[in-house]
Amino acid sequence: MDQVVIVGGGFAGLAAARRLSEEPVEVVVVDQHNFHTFQPLLYQVATAGLGSADVAYPIRTIFRRARHVRFVHGRVSGFDLSAHSVLLENGQELPYDHLIVASGATAATFDVPGVVEHALFLYTLDDARWVRNQVLAALERADAAASEETLAPVIVVVGGGPTGVETAGAMAELVDIAIRHDRLRLDPDRTRVVLLDGQQRLLPSFSPTASAYAERILRARGVEVRLGLGVESVSTAGVTLAGGELVMARVVLWAAGVTVDGTVAADLMGRRGPGGRVMVERDLSLPDHPEVFVVGDAAAVPGPDGTGPDGAAPGAGRLQPGDTRRSLPQLAQVAIQSGDHAARQVVRRLESRPTTSFAYRDKGVMATIGRRSAVAQLAGGTVFYGTIGWIAWLALHLIYLIGFRNRIVVLINWAWHYFRWPSGPRLILGDVPARPPAASRPGRIGCPECRR
Amino acid sequence: MDQVVIVGGGFAGLAAARRLSEEPVEVVVVDQHNFHTFQPLLYQVATAGLGSADVAYPIRTIFRRARHVRFVHGRVSGFDLSAHSVLLENGQELPYDHLIVASGATAATFDVPGVVEHALFLYTLDDARWVRNQVLAALERADAAASEETLAPVIVVVGGGPTGVETAGAMAELVDIAIRHDRLRLDPDRTRVVLLDGQQRLLPSFSPTASAYAERILRARGVEVRLGLGVESVSTAGVTLAGGELVMARVVLWAAGVTVDGTVAADLMGRRGPGGRVMVERDLSLPDHPEVFVVGDAAAVPGPDGTGPDGAAPGAGRLQPGDTRRSLPQLAQVAIQSGDHAARQVVRRLESRPTTSFAYRDKGVMATIGRRSAVAQLAGGTVFYGTIGWIAWLALHLIYLIGFRNRIVVLINWAWHYFRWPSGPRLILGDVPARPPAASRPGRIGCPECRR
């Protein structure tokens, strides 16, 4: 039987493996983590709303009944496209007949000085746990030092996309719990959550009305929203804005954007498109390598002509580097659909049938802004706000959350969170050094799938 | 109002704080962790049966309604008994009118070479998470390396007490899940769980019948029980026995016993009794310091004359160093009752009434041996085995598990564990270095309450 290697156990990789699990192929899923991370809820782990185990599920358990799916726990160090083999850091090589690269994205620092050294990220479960530790420890330090505290426990979130908005909203609630419920002796005026973005509105991928709603809700919850401000540098003191102003901060969360780890793109013949993503054909295969598919956040997935979610322009054919207009945004839906599509193309190749172009079915976008508020924007343009949007968001995430047990536990956590207001595992686990560990820093990423 | 400082947020410290929360005193609970750890279930975190958040509960949340109870997040570096002040590592000092030291115990290495460097422990939540990471990573490495693997993934547990027995039983189940359920390519003959103890029977604090039962069940579950064997040293290769035999092992879990961190005892006037514990008067106060009480695992809590659980001898009066016969074992029940007693003595002192001697109400001991089996030995001597013992064990632990939300989640995990056999968060979180971090090593304990 042909061997299909799938790099990455994120949404795209799992979708591909699921589709192939019933087909006459040997599937090997390789990931540096032995679990799938439900990324849309990482911000809840970072803000102590959920425990780590609630948003992670062992990959082996997911495929426990799929006899032809094997899991390999390891870091990918590169690809040998001519030899048809994936190279692992431990020296192992995984030969393949068909390769699906779903290695995901990593934080984009945009070469802003100090980001790698002083900012925290939110792309892996380890990242999320570090953010939680850092924030809770900062609040405890402020409580212990009381008035003497020189640097106020200010939390700055950089980036007004869904991740930034959801995290800032939840952080504001966490601070509120700390003061009103946990009775930490914090000065509400000096304990702030600031959301920074260079653009003029939040959630640019949503409608202007939705953006305005998100901003209004965040402000109502005490988040200091500051737009149209570029970040010049990040230091131990905080964030320095383009104008030179220093926003003092104990914790700086960098959610400004993502890119693709250089080594992947390099090995994949250096065809990098918008956002450092790998350029692919319309069937998601690598140019000149029909046996290799790149999907999910790692790929510049082509959008349908003229109707792309990000306003695509007419004209078919291969995407050209820099052509951001016709590539789809890096969303879970795009990852799932593209992973599934690649798997189906592998089947077609096995059956010696021609491959087909990827067609994205837009299911809309949604973002939650803390408790009881969310914006859910459907493909048609319809937008749900507030509680209804929140329930829609909650239902959708529960449906997609892998593992029945996880679903129950998460539902309980949420119900609890909703009815008995202050809850959540506000635990400071492990030692909390001044900076996060190398493992969770983009400058130190040793493998493509680190971020899935 | 008088200020009562309680060092440690474990069973003893919480029991004392609870009792004092309604009294006219200012209570300060200090702990290096911002959460209470439900230690009896740590082995389930270590064996991937429960998530970290299931066995930990924020101390601030526990006392959210107790206006006179304040939490301080910090490490205790020492005590100034003459100045009536507790010293913290961050330089802070906590003045007290009454002091309750519930700083717990730490792993006793008995100066066996290599234990500090190469063994893992199971006294803090961080310890448990490290054990889980190390064991799961060892199994994954063995799967990846397949036959080439030189050192088989053998897990050696040293210590036949409740901790060792419960952990070994759960480890055997974890290995079974890994092979049969997660389909790791492991050689069942080379993947073993070994339980070592120097004595001739397991669970020495139980009846011989109970000990025999535990051994039978463990063997039935595939645990290699080896008794009457002293450990000479621990190395990267494994455990070297007194006879010189080397038991090769990937992971060595040291559950051979506990002692009290030297610095506490030293500051508490160096009155160290059996197991390095602090000698106390019959009212649990420190000799010559009626305003200082030492309780829980840190103290050599006097047992009732002649009827102590460990066969106490007649004769009242202060315990003499080395007199192990009349001090109670380091059990959760002893911790809870002694903490509560100390708190009540503080109240009596406030009311200028004489203090009373501590009287232990023996509620029996229990240990679970994996799924569906446990031994519950009541004070009267009655012993429950198997499922009934297991249900008794489960019920008791659920009752004592702090936090309603935690109870539900843990109950679900257990129900799941019971009905849908293989479950549990088998997640390898964080980077897994060859050795555990300094924070979880006894040789590096900087504070007494580290181990609570």
pLDDT tens per residue across span B263-282: 666 677 556 677 788 889 99
- Claim to verify: residue A235 and residue A373 sit in the same structural domain: yes
Of the two residues B312 and A301, the one the predictor is more confident about is A301
Whether residue B17 sits in one domain with residue B97: yes
* Domain annotation covers residue B43: no
Q: Which of B60, B144, B438 sits opposite A73 (nearest CB)?
A: B144
Q: Are A70 and A441 in contact (CB under 8 A)?
A: no
CB B260 within 8 A of CB B297: yes
- Of all residues in chain A, the one with the smallest CA distance to B139 is A73
Classify residue A166 as exposed, middle or buried by CB count within 10 Å of its CB (0-12, 13-18, 19+): buried
Q: Give the residue from chain A lying closest to B68, CA to CA.
A: A183
- Write out pLDDT tens, residues B11-30: 999 999 999 999 999 999 99
pLDDT of residue B377: 86
Q: Are residues B236 and B131 in the same domain?
A: yes
Contacts of A301 (CB under 8 A, 6+ apart): A280, A284, A295, A327, A328, A334, A338, A358, A360
Alpha-carbon span A404 to B416, nearest angstrom: 10
In a domain, A67, yes or no: no
Yes or no, beta carbons of A409 and B413 under 8 Å apart: yes
Same-domain pairing of A23 and A146: no
> B interface mutation test: which of A31, A409, A441, A445 has the most B CBs within 10 A?
A409
Same domain, B195 and B301: no
> Using CB atoms and an 8 Å cut-off, which of residues 230-269 of chain A contact chain B?
none
In this model, does residue A299 exceed pLDDT 60?
A: yes
In this predicted model, which residue has the larger pLDDT, A419 or A297? A297
Cβ atoms of residues B184 and B142 within 8 Å: yes
Out of B311, B326, B350, a domain closes at: B350
Question: Last residue of some domain: B350, B374, B406?
Answer: B350
Q: How far is A428 from chain B (nearest CA, A)?
A: 6
- In the Cβ-directed half-sphere of B328, how many Cα atoms lie within 13 Å? 31
Residues A286 and A420 reside in one and the same domain? no
Does residue A334 register a pLDDT over 70? yes
Residue A109 has pLDDT above 70, yes or no: yes
**Could you report the per-residue pLDDT of A236-284, keeping only the tens digit for each?**
999 999 999 999 999 999 999 888 876 666 677 556 677 788 889 999 9
Q: Searching chain B, which residue's CA lies closest to the CA of residue A37?
A: B427
Give yes or no: residues A249 and A289 share one domain: no
Query: Which residue of the set B166, B173, B215, B449 is catalytic?
Result: B166
Q: Please check whether residues B330 and B404 belong to one and the same domain.
A: no
Does residue A146 belong to the interface with chain B, where contact is any CB pair within 8 Å?
A: no
Instruction: Say whether both A140 and A245 belong to one domain.
Output: yes
* B333 within a domain of the structure (yes/no): yes
> Are A343 and A370 within one domain?
no
What pLDDT was estimated at residue A185? 87
A394 vs A211: which has the higher pLDDT? A211
Q: What is the mean pLDDT of residues B306-333?
A: 53
What's the pLDDT at B438?
37
**Residue B210 resides in a domain:** yes
Q: Are residues A225 and A341 in the same domain?
A: no
**C-alpha angle A367-A102-A106 in degrees, rounded to nearest 5:** 60
Residue A259, pLDDT score: 87
Cβ(B452)–Cβ(B31) below 8 Å: yes
Residue A367 contacts by C-beta under 8 Å, 6 or more apart in sequence? A162, A165, A166, A203, A206, A214, A374, A375, A393
Predicted confidence (pLDDT) at residue A321 exceeds the cutoff of 60? no
* pLDDT on residue A447: 29
pLDDT tens track for A366-413? 888 877 788 888 877 788 888 888 788 878 788 877 766 677 777 777
Which among A22, A23, A148, A166 is annotated as catalytic? A166
Give me the mean pLDDT over the A318-334 stretch. Answer: 67
Task: Evaluate whether residue A64 is within a structural domain.
Answer: no
CA dihedral (A197, A200, A201, A203) positive or negative: negative
Residues of A in contact with B33 (CB under 8 A): 428
∠ CA A316-A317-A319, rounded to 5°: 105
Domain that holds residue B334: 3-32+74-105+260-350
Q: Is residue B428 part of a domain?
A: yes
Which range scores top for mean pLDDT: A293-297, A371-375, B319-323?
Answer: A293-297
Domain of A309, CATH number, reads 3.50.50.60
For A126, name the nearest residue in chain B, comparing CA atoms only.
B430
Rounded to the nearest integer, the mean pLDDT of chain A is 84
Q: Model-level pTM? A: 0.86
Residue A166 appears among annotated catalytic residues: yes
In three-state secondary structure terms, A48 is coil
**Residue among A33, A53, A416 minimizing CB distance to B428:** A33
Token digits for B449?
């309450």
Domain contains A46 = no
Q: What confidence score (pLDDT) does residue A317 get?
A: 41
Q: What confidence score (pLDDT) does residue B305 get?
A: 57
- Count CA atoms closer than 13 A to A67's CA, side-chain side: 1
Is residue B121 domain-shared with residue B238, that is, in the same domain?
A: yes
Mean pLDDT of the A299-306 span: 76
* pLDDT higher than 90, residue A304: no
**How many separate helices (H) and strands (E) can be counted in chain B?**
11, 25
Average pLDDT, chain B: 84
Angle between helices A125-145 and A162-176 in degrees, nearest 10: 30
Which of these ranges, A86-100, A385-399, B96-110, has the smallest mean pLDDT? Answer: A385-399
Q: Domain boundary at B320, B350, B380, which?
A: B350
Q: Which ipTM value was assigned to this complex?
A: 0.83
Q: What span, in angstroms and rounded, lies between the C-alpha atoms of B357 and B209?
A: 34
Q: Specify the pLDDT at position A264.
A: 67
Q: How many domains does chain B have?
A: 2
* CATH code of the domain in which A124 resides: 3.50.50.100
Q: Which two tokens stand for residue B204?
A: 């020495």
Residue B200: C-alpha distances to residues A290, B159, B373 (Å): 66, 12, 22
Give the pLDDT band (50/70/90) at residue A432: low
Closest CA to A31 of A63, A64, A71, A80: A71
**Is position B20 within any domain?**
yes
Running DSSP on this structure, what letter comes out for residue A198? Answer: S
Judged against a pLDDT cut of 60, whether residue B253 lies above it is answered with yes
Q: Report the range out of A89-93, A213-217, A427-431 with the highest average pLDDT.
A: A213-217
Partners of B430 on chain A (C-beta within 8 Å) are 126, 129, 430, 437, 439
More reliable by pLDDT, A366 or B308: A366
Torsion of CA B211, B216, B218, B221, to 10 degrees: -160
Instruction: Kindly report, residue by residue over B323-351, the tens digit of the pLDDT.
Output: 445 788 888 999 999 999 999 999 999 99
Rounded Cα–Cα distance for residues A216 and B165 (Å): 57
